[in-house]
Chain A
């Protein structure tokens, strides 16, 4: 329950600094007396660690603690922001004084009474760093190394990393928001290099979520990453140059949902649409995808990497429909943009840390399943590309052009998957790529929990997912013209 996490957050962040709710009130009051519409304080403590293995040994590891408070003041479309890494009253007041400088003196803003909201928790408020002993962490890394090496003699290098973080946050807003959250996050990554006749290829795999380290031991989950990394690298050893040109592309389920994140998701973030800089601006109610496509952003999936009990402004997360049967339904909002656009909050106000301003960001973005058997989707393609794994992507939200880079792909010839091809970047146009979706599989899958999204220099963990789907025409950036 949120009240529990609020109590935990208060205990972790405020008590050691000798701060009480009266002090939060005083700091927020300091913002007013100026023409400030609203303001908030964001307290955060992050404990993080990472362990890494190479040459079959765990040779390095690090531990980090970061804490501070960000103070934001908003006046119309203006935002003033300052932060301090000292959780002390004088530092808080100093930051508030700096943040309010955007507004003229003489405002009449008022503080609302604290209002704490409750909802069932999506993850335990645990400290993942303590969920395994140091010996067990080292042992897990060594086990993954051994598992990767025993897959195939062509494996020459194995690098494994294990990372965990616990974020404890507390948000106090002039609108009466008082909310806390304790967010665990763990991740394992396996990267291998294989070599055959002088040719080297890399393969990588991993996963994670808002759980303890024990999750990696369940069902040999982490061992699966090691096997998958080797499998991918070996596939790439056989890969021939990718085709160049526009052709039908079948995207596999799960992580290829990065398509939705780049092509659709960013363009629907509230800030770009308020400013009119997105290719999707003013298009609510219009058809932007084939009727087979329903796309949501859902921050409420239990234990997922992209999920949050509350966003970084204290708004409970939700499942927001972005596209329903091809029609554009909604944007992703934080408080500032929802207010200026006069729309409801969607729980998408996120920030990398107390030292960054909140922005509308995605959580877990995925497409609902359709009716086709994945095998039927592939069988329908005469000549095309079957892309099942991807690296990163990027979008120019104004022109709508987006890219995402395949790391495992195959040719489809006469309805059959044939040879693997080298990784290639795929490029398309966000507002029309989903209009070219002609088949949607019944195999919705979410990614393994590895996504990180960057915007304005801020990184946040996200998730994506989709069923197998067929895009009638996408440009594939191979070398075989």
Chain B
């Protein structure tokens, strides 16, 4: 087997800076009164090993260039993967052609200059992993093998996978801002199938970090995937009932994601949210606090500035259950008559303050009810808050797990679900931009047999 290195060298930052300034200059030359541009480069190596054999070995290398031009309050956007001068000219031209036909929008425009990041802190987000293909294969194999070795009932697999990604994005605008920084993202995952008495159950686990030293070990990931598949064997259905529901941390993160979706500027100014006009009012119970910490070193959601160059900053989104602020970019902020919150592109490390209880204690507090470990489908309506999704997990009685359950749904309304959260766990899932422990919701409808 040939040795191949995963890391195609990042292009010189200077080269990308020049590209950004070329694009902005071209926009100016074509008559734009303001413009903004982003140039990105990414490279990745990913490997999947299935039943001990390499299944796929993929080399990714992607470039991108995007520009938005403004002619007064009219705007147009265009993008391409081609970095040549002719492509830049054509792309700017496409954006300008669009801007001739769009309506003037008083809220359109770049971020206000005084909100742009001045000092750009180094958040320690770049930890390249010069991983040779053979080594990647060995790690993926070790990960899957740990799952397969766990129990004879694990005989089949969707594989162990590893991926390492390196990227550099530069953003600049005609206010004179130009910023960018390299980042890395590494992950290891495993998905296996447990079989018994003709039943098949699949489950997976993954770990992700900016620094490979912060990944869980291949053996730990494989074993977790295996244990998670095994514990689903013997799944039964439940009869229809109303019960308390404990959401596992990786799913609780999703609930918080729905909350963010409903306080995002776009949903608010379109009045397409169940959380309209709730600023300063309780959305969660008093014990809950949710804050944003964009500058945590090495964290997956960290960013010194947002997608329009606005400096990010620590802030409370929910304090003592009360909604303190929305998730806004410059445009939606202007629509709402407010100030941007530095969230063009999303939130940056949103933290649900952990409560005192761990998983076992939460099961005891749940007492008799459903512990949900997997959700399916898209039955979440942010306009109304109506929530109805397929679920699997475990039936719990008196704090003790009784048996796995599947082919059921859980339903409620997010407004009431948020209000009725009885506990937030300290079993925090750190694998994404939202960090949250388990959440216990007092009452939901389970539909089943």
B57 touches A102 (CB 8 A): yes
Contact B240 A245 (CB under 8 A): yes
Query: Residues of B contacting A404 with CB < 8 Å?
Result: 377
Report the minimum CB–CB distance from B445 to chain A (whole Å). Answer: 5
Q: How far is the CB of A175 from chain B (nearest CB, A)?
A: 20
A138 to B101 Cα, complex, angstroms: 7
Q: Are B384 and A201 in contact, with the CB atoms below 8 A?
A: yes
B339 on interface, CB distance cutoff 8 Å? no
The answer to whether residues A246 and B61 also contact, given A68-B81, A396-B376 and a CB cut-off of 8 A, is no
Interface majority SS (helix, strand, loop, mixed), chain A: strand
Q: Among B2, B59, B77, B388, find the residue whose CB has the most chain A CB atoms closer than 10 A.
A: B388
Is the beta-carbon distance between A78 and B378 smaller than 8 angstroms? no
Q: For chain B residues 1-26, which have a beta carbon within 8 Å of chain A?
A: 1-2, 4
Interface flag for A59 (CB, 8 Å): yes
Asked whether B383 lies within 8 Å of A98 as measured between CB atoms, the reply is no
The verdict on A405 contacting chain B, using a C-beta distance below 8 Å, is yes
CA distance A134 to B96 in the complex (A): 12
Report B52 CB to chain A, min CB distance, Å: 11
Bound Cα distance from A391 to B389, whole angstroms: 12
Q: Are B56 and A481 in contact (CB under 8 A)?
A: no
Cβ contact within 8 Å between B378 and A193: no
Looking across the interface, which residue of chain A has its beta carbon closest to that of B194?
A398
Q: Contacts of B271 on A, CB cut-off 8 Å?
A: 156-157, 193, 195, 200
B62 touches A355 (CB 8 A): yes
Q: C-beta contact mask, A412-425 vs B, less than 8 Å → 1, else 0?
A: 00000000001111
Q: Which of A59, A277, A394 contacts B376 (CB 8 A)?
A: A394
> Contacts A193-B272, A244-B447; is A66 near B388 (CB within 8 Å)?
no
Q: Which residues of B contact A61 (CB under 8 A)?
A: 76-77, 98, 101-102
- Residue from B100, B103, B200, B378 within 8 A of A399 (CB atoms): B200
Q: With CB as the reference atom, state the residue of chain B lying closest to A70.
A: B58
Interchain CB contact under 8 A, B108 and A59:
yes
For the complex, give the distance between the alpha carbons of A193 and B392 in Å. 33
Please indicate the chain B residues that have their CB under 8 angstroms from the CB of A357 in the complex. Answer: 56, 58
Q: Please, what's the 1-or-0 string for B80-98, where 1 marks a CB less than 8 Å from any CB in chain A?
A: 1110000100110011011
Q: Are A193 and B270 in contact (CB under 8 A)?
A: yes
Task: Judge if B55 is at the interface, Cβ distance under 8 Å.
Answer: yes
A66/B54 contact (C-beta < 8 A), A134-B101, A355-B62 known: no
Task: Tell me, in angstroms, the Cα distance from A134 to B201 when the chains sit together.
Answer: 52
- A142: nearest residue on chain B (CB-CB)? B103
Interfacial chain A residues near B105, Cβ < 8 Å:
57, 59
Q: Are A425 and B379 in contact (CB under 8 A)?
A: yes
Q: Is B407 an interface residue (CB 8 A)?
A: yes
Q: Which residues of B have CB within 8 Å of A79?
A: 55-57
Of the candidates A62, A99, A159, A201, the one whose C-beta lies within 8 Å of that of B76 is A62
Residue of chain A at shortest CB distance from B99? A61
Query: Which single residue of chain A is at the shortest CB-CB distance from B103?
Result: A57
Binary per-residue interface labels of chain B (217-253) against chain A in the complex, 1 for a CB within 8 Å, 0 otherwise: 0000000000000001001000011100000000000
Q: Are B386 and A423 in contact (CB under 8 A)?
A: yes
Instruction: Check if B50 is an interface residue, CB within 8 A of chain A.
Output: yes
Q: Within 8 Å of chain B (Cβ to Cβ): is A476?
A: yes
Binds B, one of A82-90, A320-328, A343-351: A82-90
Question: Is B187 an interface position by the 8 A CB rule?
Answer: no
With a cutoff of 8 Å between Cβ atoms, the chain A residues found around residue B90 in the complex are 65
Give 21 CB contacts A-B under 8 Å: A58-B102, A59-B108, A61-B98, A65-B87, A65-B91, A66-B80, A80-B57, A85-B61, A100-B2, A101-B4, A134-B100, A156-B271, A200-B272, A277-B200, A391-B378, A403-B389, A427-B409, A477-B390, A477-B411, A478-B388, A479-B412
